[in-house]
Amino acid sequence: MPNCLIIGAGLAGLIAARELQAQGQAVLVLDKGRGVGGRMATRRIEDAVFDHGAQFFTARSPEFETMVAEWRQAGVAAEWCRGFSQNGEPAPSDNHPRYRGNGGMTAILKFLARGVDVRLEQRVLHVEPQGAGWRAVAENDAVFNADAIILTAPVPQSIALLDAGNCALPPQIRRDLESITYDPCITVLALLETGSTLPPPGAIQFNGEPISWLADNFQKGISPRHGAITIHAGPQFSRDHWEAEDATITAALFEAAQQWLGSPIVAHQVHRWRYAKAVQNYPQPCLCVEMPAPLIFAGDAFAGAKVEGAALSGLAAARVLINQWKHEN
C-alpha cells in the first residue's frame, strides 16, 4: 500500500509525487486520461502538433526557476519568446522569458512522470476514509488504499469525489473551497493548407471577445508542419456557446480569426475546458484538512494560478504532508 495516493497526473500531482518519492515515500498517482498532463495538453492532427491547453509559462519565483532550469537541461523545455503581440500589434519585449515544452507541453509532464507509479485510464468514482487512511474506488471495481490522499483535480471535481464517498468536509472548509471559481475555455485546433499570417513570435493575446488567444504552433517551434493553429475562445464566448454545436463555434471563431489565418482550413477539432483558469483562488498554496487521515487539496487554484502556481502548489502539498508525518513520528 502506498503512503500517499494522488488523484490527477497533471503538473501539481506529478510534482507532489516526485517530492514525496525524494523523501522516501511510496506514491501512487491515478488519472482518468490516456496520458499524463492534465491541462498541459498536446494533440496531433495528421502530422501537425498543437498545444491545446496551457500555451506557455513564466518563472517568477526562485523555486520554480530551479525546476525550469532542470527541464531545460533535460531538453524538455525551451524559451519561446519574451513578449507576445497584443491585439495584433507588434510584439513588445519585456525581457522576461516565456517557456514552452519541446515538442509540446506534455513533454514536460512525461519527463516528470519517469520513475513515478502512474496508473492511467483510472476514472475514480469516489474517495472515502478507510480506517486510518483513505480508499479510492475507480471504474471496474478497482480499489486503491493509502495513508494519505492529495486531490489535484479542479476543486469542484475533487469535492464531487468526496461527496460520492459520503465524506463530509468541515462546513467552513467546504465554503472556502466552493468560493473558488473558474473560467471555461473552448479551444479550436485548426490545420491550415499553408502557413498562417500571425506576426512573430507566432501568438496574439487579445483583450476581449470572442478570442482570447491565437497561436501558430509551427512558429512556436513545436509543430513540424506549417499552419497548426490554436484558438482559445474568451470566457464569455465559452460560457455562451458551451452547449452549442461545434459547427456554430468554429464558424464564429474562424470568422473572428480570418485575417490571421491566411489559408484555407483543411481539418479542425474542438475541445471544451470547463475549468480552464481559476479566477478566484484559495489564498494558500494548498489546503490540508484535519481528517482522521491526511487530506490535501492542491492545484492551480491555490495561491497562484497558471503553470507556476500549479507546480508550487504540488510542491507545497508534498512538504505539508512530509512535515505532518515527521511531527506524528
pLDDT number for residue 148 = 97
pLDDT number for residue 87 = 79
* Tally of CB atoms within 10 A around 12: 33
Place of cell 494548498: 286
Q: How far apart are CA 151 and CA 134, in angstroms?
A: 12
pLDDT number for residue 171 = 96
Q: How far apart are CA 163 and CA 157, in angstroms?
A: 10
Domains of the chain with bracketed CATH: 1-34+120-179+281-329 (3.50.50.60), 41-105+181-280 (3.90.660.10)
Q: What residues form DSSP beta bridges with 43?
A: 50
110-144 burial, b at 16+ Cβ within 10 Å, e below that, comes to bbbbeebebeeebebebbebeeebbbbbbeeeeeb
pTM: 0.95
Averages of pLDDT over each 10 residues, the chain, 329 residues: 95 98 97 95 97 96 97 98 85 88 98 98 96 94 96 98 97 97 97 95 93 98 98 98 98 97 96 95 95 94 90 98 85
Amino acid sitting at position 94: D
pLDDT number for residue 207 = 85
Residue 153: how many CA atoms within 13 Å on its side-chain side? 23
- CA 80 vs. chain centroid, Å, equals 19
